[in-house]
Structure 1
Amino acid sequence: MKLRKTWMLGALLVAPMTVSYNSMANFDGLSNELAPLSCLLEPSRDIELSSEVQGVIREIRVNRGDSVKKGQVVMRLNSTLEVAAVNTVKARLEFAKRKVERNADLYRKNLISDNEQDEMLTEQRLAEFQLKEARVKLSQRETKSPISGVVIERIKDPGEFVDELPFLRIATLNPMHAEVVLPAELYGTVKKDEAVTLYPLNSQTPYEGKVKIIDPIIDAASNTFAVTVSLNNDSGALSAGVRCQVEFKG
């Protein structure tokens, strides 16, 4: 299963913004009560799922808009051959075990050689290894969600062939992230875990968040750097793609 993280840059999706602050930088630091800055709400994780192996989809157990839990089975491939292989190896293992048990008394009485006993035990161990392998191959015929979130796109349907290309897209909406672009002059003044207040443009309710990520590199072309703010979204009131404003309290 291959995961691909999707990044949406607020600088590309939000109209050009003017960043203002009450006093410019000096060498001793910034007096940085910032005016509200433009931002964009994004999922904290946005991944595309693909199958670990190729095959024809037997069932996809979720639809667009459905909530999923981490570890939940979301897709199964046709697995007739894999199930048959597991059953075959199980029968071989059971036979090998019965053979060892039947000959245990003969071995204790020295009626069979050490070599014959070793061959029977080896057959049993090989069958155990083959059963583990068959079960792994069978488990690869289903895909589990690596995160809790919401299905935002179902790319494939039952009956279609799936390979390394994605068949499902899942986003985590709790916590929610907001991407903020700041001028390079403010680099070093914003701290990780610093408290911020965020105002979605479609709501009058303010939300409290914390700085989660500060880009370690300043973009030379725009002379800016990005900050990611994390917000609790237990209520589900925040929606990805909504523009917002954020105030740093620092």
Structure 2
Amino acid sequence: MKSRYKTWMLAIAAFIAAPVATANETKTVSDLAFSPLSCLLEPSFDVELSSEVQGIIKELRVNRGDKVKKGQVVMKLNSSLEVAALNTVKARLEFASRKVKRNADLYRKNLISDNEQDEMLTEQRLAEFQLKEARVRLSQRQTRSPITGVVIERIKDPGEFVDELPFLRIATLNPMHAEVVLPAELYGSINKNESITLYTLGSEVAFQGKVKIIDPIIDAASNTFAVTVVLNNDEGILSAGVRCRVEFNNS
């Protein structure tokens, strides 16, 4: 998603760079204090979820527009075989543990050999390892959200087959990011954590943000580089995909 936003932003780079190219002087960030620059709002995180293993969706617990928390289970696959395997291993471990306990007194009295005792203990340890494996396999039948955010696309529905392809898309809208493209002449004049003022298209309501990322590479085709600005969006006023303009504050 970020590459798509950046492609759009680079398309307007010629418009941004044109005034700079006509000047025969070195530009600094202070020259932009009252010069608005176009930008585009985007989520701070945008992830497409896929399943660790293949299977048929049993439950898809969220819909488009739902809020999710990091670690929340959003999807479960049919797991009847995995549950049965887990119960089998549990029964095997319980039997092995009882067997070791029953024969502990016999071993102390030297009524069973060291080899027999070792076999029983090995069976118990193997059952413990198999139980851990069965639990991992069962946990792979569900998918948890890696971020806190909002569901922006539900690609699959219960009853459908899933594999490594995405079935859900989640985006984090707080904080929000704004992608700004600047002329190459200003490279080195922008600093991380530098303050900016942002306005959404058609609005005079100001939002304050800070420079978070400065691209280390200048785009040769447009002679520009991109800057990512982070903005607080606790009130949910800002929306991804909205055009905006920014002004760098005097420094």
TM-score normalized with structure 1 length:
0.93
Match of 1:12 in 2: 8
Which of the residues 24, 30, 33 maps onto 1:32?
Answer: 30
Cα deviation 1:203-244 (Å, max 9, x = unaligned)? 331000000000000011111000000000000000001110
Amino acid in structure 1 at the alignment position of 2:16: T
Amino acid in structure 1 at the alignment position of 2:82: E
Deviates more, 1:43-52 or 1:200-209: 200-209
C-alpha contact 1:14 1:38 (8 A) present in aligned 2: no
Cα deviation 1:91-126 (Å, max 9, x = unaligned)? 000000000000000000000000000000000000
Amino acid in structure 2 at the alignment position of 1:238: L
Instruction: Give the distance between the partners of 1:24 and 1:194, measured in 2 at CA.
Output: 26
RMSD over aligned Cα atoms: 1.8
C-alpha contact 2:29 2:186 (8 A) present in aligned 1: no
Cα deviation 1:61-102 (Å, max 9, x = unaligned)? 000000000000000000000000000000000000000000
How far apart are 1:33 and its partner, in Å? 2.4
Instruction: Give the distance between the partners of 2:84 and 2:234, measured in 1 at CA.
Output: 45
Instruction: Give the distance between the partners of 1:24 and 1:37, measured in 2 at CA.
Output: 20
Instruction: Give the distance between the partners of 1:136 and 1:232, measured in 2 at CA.
Output: 38
Amino acid in structure 2 at the alignment position of 1:134: A
Match of 1:74 in 2: 74
Matches within 5 A, 1:58-97: 58-97=58-97
Q: Structure 1: give runs of 5+ residues left out of the alignment.
A: none
Aligned length: 244
C-alpha contact 1:42 1:179 (8 A) present in aligned 2: yes
Q: Secondary structure at the match of 1:226?
A: strand
C-alpha contact 2:10 2:222 (8 A) present in aligned 1: no
Instruction: Give the distance between the partners of 1:23 and 1:31, measured in 2 at CA.
Output: 15
Q: Secondary structure at the match of 1:116?
A: helix
How far apart are 1:248 and its partner, in Å? 0.8
Amino acid in structure 2 at the alignment position of 1:218: I
Instruction: Give the distance between the partners of 1:111 and 1:31, measured in 2 at CA.
Output: 88
C-alpha contact 1:14 1:39 (8 A) present in aligned 2: no
Q: Secondary structure at the match of 2:30?
A: coil
Instruction: Give the distance between the partners of 2:29 and 2:233, measured in 1 at CA.
Output: 31
- Runs of 4+ in structure 1 off by over 6 angstroms are none
Instruction: Give the distance between the partners of 1:234 and 1:74, measured in 2 at CA.
Output: 24
Q: Structure 2: give runs of 5+ residues left out of the alignment.
A: none
Inter-CA distance 199–128: structure 2 relative to 1 (3 Å threshold):
same
Asked if 1:121 corresponds to 2:121, the answer is yes
Q: Relative contact order (alpha carbons < 8 A, sep ≥ 6): 1 or 2 greater?
A: 2
Instruction: Give the distance between the partners of 2:62 and 2:244, measured in 1 at CA.
Output: 31
How far apart are 1:56 and its partner, in Å? 0.2
